[in-house]
Every structure is written in structure tokens, then in C-alpha cells.
Structure 1
Amino acid sequence: MSTATFASPQVLSRPSPNRVQVVAPELRIADNPAAAVLRAASGQGPISRDAASRDTGLSIATVNRQVAVLLGAGLLRERADLTASGAIGRPRVPFEVNHELYLTVGIHIGAVVTSVIASDLRGRILGGVEIPTPQGDQNAALGSIARSARAFTARWHRRQPLWVGVALGGRVDAASGVVDHPRLGWTGARVGSIVGEALGLPVSVSAHVEAMAASELLLAPKISEDRQTSGTSLYFYARETAGVALTIDGRVHTPNNGPGSVAHLPTGSDVICECGQRGCLEATISDRGVAARAVRLGIVDRPTVASLYTAASSGSVAAHDLLVERAQVLGRTVAMLRDLFNPDRVILGGQAFTEYPAGIPHVAEAFAATSTLARKDVRVSGFGKRVQEFAAGVTSLSAIYADPLPSMRRALG
């Protein structure tokens, strides 16, 4: 990832780091007027008041009031240069999200790689860096990640940072920002307080698959209002880990005890899992598991999934067949979960789907052969290989999107 050119007319002081503010993320489409107007500006701006009224279902008077307060908070800006010829009065002036003044910081802590990104208020990623996820003591690892995020944020000296969001696997207590992450060996890790204190910003912490599902709601290009907000969606993620999240009527379902686990669903494979059983899903389809198997079979010399992708793309039949086998396991598993929950749509995310496009037809074929229900909407996430970054970004933006004015007061102290 690369860092974008900085451009903004104003520099504001950062909030005081004396008191860490851990705020549970709002993984939903909010229905209050300020949130609706901000969402219209983010998705369709520059937009007129009339168009915003039609888009949100709010009256012109309500839109005018919300635009005024959002302008005052610095979240919107007017575009007088785009006013239609002959139009009279300020309500005719289009408005848009004030995307050059602020940024939010997103951190995705993966099992192998950690990403740190900066987003503008529209959810566009401005730039980012990747670092190896530190191993060993959890407090030392989090301190190292937080220092890297702070150094990265300091580069954006012409933008005011508002919030930091952290997305990661494991069991997340969103209210406290405390995480249990068995894969990393973390127990009661104070993710929110350590990261928030280091950056001096309000912080939200989310289970990463739930955040990925939220990015489809809040950051994906608008297809239709009904498709975004009504019915149910099943989000299935697979890369180094596997996970699922449900979205119900515009809100990601976030169980009180943390997200459920599909890591040990049986697949019928002969791969031995760390738990001692054979055929567990995560051990079978994870990047690490597939790469290790490729080495044992003599397909590649290095235990990295990148070398396996390279071999398959270069014509290795054995490498291709191994990736097809993973695709078939994924297709059957998604079909089983789809039949269990019967959602209106299924979204597939993660590099296990996107890094080897030749495997997608085999996912679809295995899904069709396994599912007993009529096919509906099944698609691969439009965020491609950047799903982790957008999950971190939406975690950093969700509170602002859900309740813009109180969140700005909190962010600016």
C-alpha cells in the first residue's frame, strides 16, 4: 500500500490522550436524520437538498436543518461552484462530505499480517502500511502495533485524526475493547485501551468478520436501498482463519458472547487439526494449512500460499488441483451454512476466494451440488483482497456514521 498526497486547508489539534474512550462500534445503518443525510452525502455527493430529501425520505425542512448542523460540525461542505445556473438561494447549493479535513485510522490485526490504514469520511482508503503481526507477549505486541499506527498517523500532518478502529479475530468485548484471541495466544488483551492511549483518540474494537459484513452495508457502492437494508445476509470469510456473520435488516448481528465459530466444522478431509480431530474447516482451508500440505506433497518448496498461487498460475496441475480441492470444500461449507440459515443473500470474502479466480467456478459448482434450496443471491465481495482494510476502516467510522454530532464532540474533545 502507498500513502496518498496530503491536501487540506486546515490543521486542528488532537484530542487529549489523558482519558481513553473505548466506544462500541455501531455496525448498522442508522435511521436518525443526521446519519441519513451524512450517508446520502457520502454515497452520492455532491448532492442537492432536493435529491437528499428524495433519497432519505426526509422533508426538505428536515434536510435543511441537518445540513446546517453538519456544516457547523465540519462534516459537510457546500459546493457553490456546482450550483445550477439561475438557481437562487443557499438551499440550491449542493453539498458533500468534507473529505479533505479529517481522517480515521483503521487497524486490522491478522494472524500473520497487520494492516494500518487511513480513511477519509467517505470510507475511501487514503493509504496504508503492513507489518508482520508481532508474536509473543500480548501487551508488547499491542504496544508495537500501536506505535506503528501512531507513526503512520503522524504522516498525515494536514488532516485531523478523529477515531481509531481495530478489527481482529477471536472473541471481542466491544464495550471494553478486551479480546481473547486463541490463534495469537491472547487472553484478556486490552486492545482498546492500549491502542486508544497510544493514539490519543476514541477507539472502537470489532470482531473482524462482523466488521467485514458491516463494510458491505456502509461502504459498498449503493446498489438499491432494499438490497442494502432489508432481509438477511450471510457473510462468509476465509483466509488464514474462517468465520461467518449475519446481517439482519441493515444491522450486523453481534452476539453478546462474541461471534460463533466455524473453525472446527467437519469437512471430511484427512487434515489433522491442532485440536486433534481430522478434517476441521480452518485447518483444511487456511492459507497456512494449504501451503503446508503443498510442501508435504512436493508441489512447492516454501510453505507460503503465495508460492502455491504462483505455481498454479504457471501451469502446475498439482498446485491447481490442490486449490480446486480447497475451493470445493469452501463451496460445500457455504452451501451447508446457507441451507441452515436460508439468508436472502450470501457474500463471500477473503483471499481464499479472491486470490485464485480460477477456483471460483469450483466454489460455485460445489455450492450448487450441495445446497438443497433454490439459488438466490450469491456473490464475491467487491472489496477483493482489501476486505481486511475496509473492515478496519468501517470500525473506525461506524460511530460517526451512526450518530454524527455526538461522535464529533467526543472525537474533538
Structure 2
Amino acid sequence: MRFTHRAETFPVNTPAAAQIFTVVLSQGPLTRLELARRAGLSPAAVTKAVRPLIEAGYLVEDADEEARPALGRPANLVRVDGGRALFLGIKVTGDEIIGVLTDLCCRIRAARHVPLTDRDLKVVLAATADVVQELLVEADGLGVGVLGLGIAVSGDVDRGAGVVRYSPFLEWRDVPLAELAATTTGLPVTVDNDVRALTVAEQWFGAGAGLSDFAVVTVGAGIGCGLVVHGKVVAGAHGVAGEIGHVTVDPAGPLCHCGNRGCVEAIAGDAAILRRIRETTGVDVPDTASAVRLARRGVPGAREAYARAGEAIGRGIATVANLLGPERVIISGEGLAAHDLFAEQIRDAFAAAAFGSAAQCDVQTRPLPFEEWARGAAATAIQSFIRADTQGAP
């Protein structure tokens, strides 16, 4: 099944225009003078880039009455018209598809959750198509075109090629997902690793806006890390930069599914915590919600498992801080539902392991609803649209 959509490209395909628009999108509204300063461009270059974006309706100017000088007209603030375009984001997990419809400022306008009964590629594509169709109906009601679709999955993802190289949760290898999804939906498609997608959302629309260097650490089924270095999300030469989950913090620790011992994920991932609680308490805890309840009731083995997880996460974050010196580390993910059980251990382990001024890194916890993973996927679609690097379009 193919869907109709409004084909449209970003009106000014130059690096300067993309840079200026991105600055306004993530840090605006701004005066043209302030925009020039933050973008590191001349006022003339800003004016040249802004004019066609205003004419196309992507930017608007509003008078800033508070900035009125003693004589003359008030300064004008340039801002993005979020309602100018819509985008879709899809997060595929092992048992669910989460879809969101966002505006150009990545504000969620509608969301859908659909259970997955099978991880077979054809089943996932069909379920994705159903979610896309539902969200396109929502978009029709808003009378605005959908200009791109982002899909986020865990694992080794080559965004440039639009290929999922390996996703352990989905048991996929070398899947050309961008091409297949574009054929199915008729939309330009961007495919990226879920943690990197969440990092893009934080960089442009969240706690990383305006920062040149920061990291996003996600806690839950796995332990992930997205890195922003000198303003760019880093994937590395082989697409696995930021694999904090497989940093060894205890060489004598439990065996990790990667084959090594004492990885952060082998101690602090959901499955590792459940396994530890079963070993130390003899209680057959079926899921993380049960584990959290045990720990909050004060069961020693359960509390110890979470404390141990917090220590491993803190050491992993310290490794990131020592290597890259980020201004901020944002801790997020579904595992933060149990944040009260290990926050102190994260802070203490980080402080103990961070070297010198790396300890000054601002470590923030940012619990986010699960739709934020899909919103991250939408953010990658917005990014591709602006930077004209979308792959997989039919």
C-alpha cells in the first residue's frame, strides 16, 4: 500500500541556510543580529538566507516590543513557524511500534502505540504502514503536508545507507529499512539508531540545545549513549561510537551477551538487574515493575541490585566525561522509572571516577515518556529535510 503526501524540498539548499534555520529552530526566537552572532556569519549572509525562508513560510518575523530602543522601531525576532510542515517518527521495539506526528518544531501532535506479535520484517513493515496511515489521517485533519518519516531502531544502524546492519532485539541483519519503508509509505525515510535519534532531539529541541559538546545516556533494556562533539552527533567510523553499555567497569563481573565480563549493561541493564535479584533473593521476579516494587519495599537483595547498577552507570558516565569532557550528560530512558533507587550511587560513582575538571560536567536526569523515542525519529526526519541528506526516498 502506498500513501499520498505532499512532495516538497527545503527552499534554500545551502549550508549557510541550513545552519541559520537550525539555530533559529533550536535556540530562537532571535533577532537577526543575535542570529548572526550565534551562527558565526555576517548580518548580510543572514539576511540573504532568511529572506527566501520567510517567503516560503518557514520563518516569520515578529516585533519584539520589549527590545524597543529609545528611538525608532522595535527589533524583529525571527522564529520558526512550527505549523508550516509535519513529520512522522516511528520507534520499533521488540514488542511494540510507537508512532508520533510532530510539527516542524518537533512538538507531538498525535501518537499511536501498536503491539508487535512478530519481529518478522514483513510483519513490522505492515504494522508500520498501518501506524503511518493513521497518523496521515491526523495530518489531513490539520491541513498540513507530511514531509518526511524517521524510523529509529536499536543496534548498529548505517544512517547514510538506510540499512540496519544488526539489531539484536529485532534479530535483523543487513535490512535496507529506509528503502523498504519508503516503497511502502511513499515518504522520504531516514533510519537511525534509536539512541542517536534521541540525541538529535535533545540537541535541537531539548536539554542539549545550544551546547557544543554533550552526551545522552539511556538506561533500560540496554545502556546506550549518544555523543555530540563540536556540534555534531558522532557515529564513528563503524557506527558504534558511544557504546557505553559495553565499557568494562568490573573485569570480574557477570558475563555480558557481547562475550566480555563486567560491562555496564551486564550489571545495569534491566535483564541484568532481574537476574541479580533472582540470584540474591531467590524470588522469581517476572519483570522490572516487580523488581522495583521489591526494592522499594526494602528487600536487601533487590536494593543491592539497583545500587550496583547505579555504580556501574556512574562509572560509565565518568569514562565518557574523562574521554570527551562534555559540558553536560543527560540521563534518560525507561529505566529512570527506578531512578530513586540508584540516583545517589550514580552521583557518587561518577564523582569518584571522574578525573580533575571532568567532574564539573553537569549530570542531569531527564525522565521522558516512551513517545520521546519516536519523537527522536521525527527529529532525524526534520534534520534530513533541512540538510537535504534524506536517503531512501522513492
* 1:349-383 Cα deviation digits (max 9, x unpaired): 33366322322111111222234444121413546
Find 1:402's aligned residue among 383, 387, 390: 387
Find 2:5's aligned residue among 2, 11, 14: 14
| Cross-structure match for 1:332 | 315
Distance 2:139 2:178 in 1: 22
Q: Does 1:141 align with 2:132?
A: no
RMSD of equivalent CA atoms: 3.7
Alignment of 1:113-262 (within 5 A): 113-157=96-140, 158=142, 159-179=144-164, 180-220=166-206, 225=210, 228-229=211-212, 232-260=213-241, 261-262=243-244
Distance 2:238 2:283 in 1: 41
Structure 1 gaps, min length 5: 1-12, 22-29
Letter in 1 for 2:363: R
* 1:158-204 Cα deviation digits (max 9, x unpaired): 22111111122222122221112123210122211222223321111
Classify 1:75/1:264 alpha carbon distance in 2 versus 1 (closer, same or farther; 3 Å). Answer: same
Post-superposition offset of 1:47: 4.1
Q: Does 1:289 align with 2:272?
A: yes
* 1:6-37 Cα deviation digits (max 9, x unpaired): xxxxxxx7147xxxx9xxxxxxxx99332243
Alignment of 1:296-375 (within 5 A): 297=280, 302-313=285-296, 316-339=299-322, 341-351=323-333, 354-358=336-340, 359-374=342-357, 375=359
Q: Is the 8 A contact 2:110 2:138 kept in 1?
A: no
Q: Is the 8 A contact 2:162 2:176 kept in 1?
A: yes
Post-superposition offset of 1:221: 5.1
Q: Is the 8 A contact 1:15 1:200 kept in 2?
A: no
* Bigger relative contact order (CA 8 A; separation at least 6): 1
Letter in 2 for 1:153: L
| Cross-structure match for 1:49 | 32
Classify 1:162/1:363 alpha carbon distance in 2 versus 1 (closer, same or farther; 3 Å). Answer: same
Alignment: residue pair count: 378
Q: Is the 8 A contact 1:220 1:382 kept in 2?
A: no
TM-score normalised by length of structure 1: 0.77
Q: Is the 8 A contact 1:165 1:395 kept in 2?
A: yes
Post-superposition offset of 1:151: 1.9
Classify 1:109/1:370 alpha carbon distance in 2 versus 1 (closer, same or farther; 3 Å). Answer: same
SS of alignment partner, residue 361 of structure 1: helix
Classify 1:184/1:73 alpha carbon distance in 2 versus 1 (closer, same or farther; 3 Å). Answer: same
Q: Does 1:63 align with 2:54?
A: no
